Chains A and B, each alone.
Chain A
Amino acid sequence: MKYLTITGNQFIDACLSILITFWPSLLLGVKTVLLVAISGTIIGLVIGLIIGGLRAIKVEKGSIIYFIKWVYDILAKCYVEIFRGTPMMVQAVFIYYWLKPAFGWSPIIAGIFVISINTGAYMAEIIRAGIQSVEIGQTEAARSLGMSAQQTMMSIIIPQAIKNAFPAIGNEFIVNIKDSSVLNVISVTELFFQAKSIAGSLYRYEETFLVTAFVYLFLTIITSFILNLIEKRINKTKTSFPTSSTTTNMVKAQGEH
């Protein structure tokens, strides 16, 4: 453990010295934050695509599949409600200690696991809403060409759903950058955990956490900048919504049926 003699009595000086002296451990924290947030968001997105995608499928009444789907919907709803309705900190502690005897896992793996299934619950709803935002006509056109329900979902609906849901998906990523801090309760060495150790060793809480706050802010600002660039790109290529005069015409005609 390094020790720091704070020379100036200026607050700002103290902050800078912390940054200069402790940047390696802060950087380690940042790396962990990014690892946890990126993998958690990606795995969460996959979970959301599967769970939300299946949720959006409609099954005809009266068949056995209808019953299975009914049970599935209830289970999926429970999953979403439980993970959105309880604090991630509580989920982290519970899951880490509960499954530790079975898996013998390290905090970082447990942390990625927790953030993934937590994100998955939010993503499931985001994807479901994204799928519902795709016009029914897209499905009808695909089915009328002979494409199966599955082909329609994979090649027509999901790509548009992801595009529509992209802002919300990106937002989950930013939330994860910040919320990874709760994983300090299971000793994941992310940024907040590192900051706590630095602050504890120096007895300098205000300065350390101000620096830490700026590091988080830096991460989220850069991330949202990148996400904005990606979003602009997606909107520019292929799928921008029509702005021609025929659009209003079309909507009117559809309304009349």
Chain B
Amino acid sequence: MNDNVIKIQNCRKSFGNLEVLKDINFTVNKGDVVCLIGSSGSGKSTLLRCINRLEKIDSGNILVDDIDIYDQSIDLNKYRAKVGMVFQSFNLFNNLNVIGNCMIAQHKVLKRNKQEAQKTAMFFLKKVGMEQFAKAASTQLSGGQKQRVAIARALCMNPEILLFDEPTSALDPEMVQDVLDVMKTLAKEGLTMIVVTHEMSFAKEVANKVVFMDKGIIAEEGSPQVIFTKPNNPRTQEFLKRIIR
């Protein structure tokens, strides 16, 4: 018996001659919050993008619920609906208002009818504190509001796993906390999440596991207590010294 939701085995990925992921191995259990840390260019985004197949790995396996997600026979769109993604640059649909952003994929992918989609959208907009903006144009929101809508949009698909790629890095400092609070709530509710972040206090408080990536390899992984207080790898120590002032 195991409750691994995600198993990543010997994954490699290159862009041309640049090997971005070099033999990546790790597992995520159900309900885990995994924080991926590491300096810019170490391959964190690429790894997330390989997990929801926005990029393709060159070799190795990624198993989600024990199913090989690179198997030709799986329905890619169904798989993606199950694994949500929140981007650094929000990527709200500019041609749709807030609730439209939350409804479109429910309608197109899950084939929910309008009422059902609307109800679900309002439920999750309320959860992220954006219900009063349901009718607002997505382009008129502040960054923090946009990111909360983007989270609600992902939640509307009832994902099993939610991937966050530096969700607060593009935000003005005063808005970071709003977004982190939403993420904390989701973590408490038991949603499985992988979060690329530079918010070390968030990682300390919420993560079950912290993974430190360095130049395409996992240099160290462990509980936040271990990683933040007595990391084994000198590279981890160096990185943390740089980032925590």
Binding site for B on A (CB under 8 A): 135, 137-138, 140-148, 151, 155-156, 159-160, 163, 237-242, 244-246, 249-250, 253-254, 256-257
Contact = CB atoms under 8 A, between A and B. Distances in A.
Given A151-B108, A240-B140, A250-B143, A140 B91 contact: yes
A238 B77 contact: no
B88 interface: yes
B171 A144 contact: no
A2 to B, nearest CB: 54
Given A141-B87, A238-B137, A249-B172, A146 B77 contact: yes
B195 to A, nearest CB: 15
Contacts of B45: 257
Interface string B20-61: 000000000000000000001100010000001010000000
A43 to B, nearest CB: 24
A250 B154 CA distance: 20
Nearest to A241: B139
- Nearest 8 interchain pairs by C-beta: A146-B81, A246-B143, A145-B105, A141-B91, A137-B91, A144-B85, A253-B170, A146-B109
B169 interface: yes
B234 to A, nearest CB: 25
B80 A143 contact: yes
A250 B45 CA distance: 17
B96 interface: yes
Contacts of A237: 137
Contact of A239 (B80, B139, B166): B139
A249 B139 CA distance: 15
B94 interface: yes
B143 A238 contact: no
Nearest to A144: B85
**Residues of A contacting B: mostly:** helix
B56 to A, nearest CB: 9
B93 A138 contact: yes
B92 interface: yes
Contacts of B140: 240, 242
A145 B157 contact: yes
A160 B104 contact: no
A248 to B, nearest CB: 10
Q: Which of B41, B52, B88, B94 has the most CB of A within 10 A?
A: B94
Contacts of B109: 145-147, 151
B185 interface: no
B172 A240 contact: no
A246 B171 contact: yes
A27 B96 CA distance: 42
Nearest to A242: B139
B184 to A, nearest CB: 22
Given A144-B52, A160-B94, A246 B87 contact: no
B142 A246 contact: yes
Nearest to A237: B137
Contacts of B80: 143-146
B73 interface: no
Q: Which of B40, B77, B83, B141 has the most CB of A within 10 A?
A: B77
Contacts of A253: 88-89, 166, 169-170
Interface string B148-175: 0010011001000000001001111001
Contacts of B92: 141
Contacts of A148: 77, 108
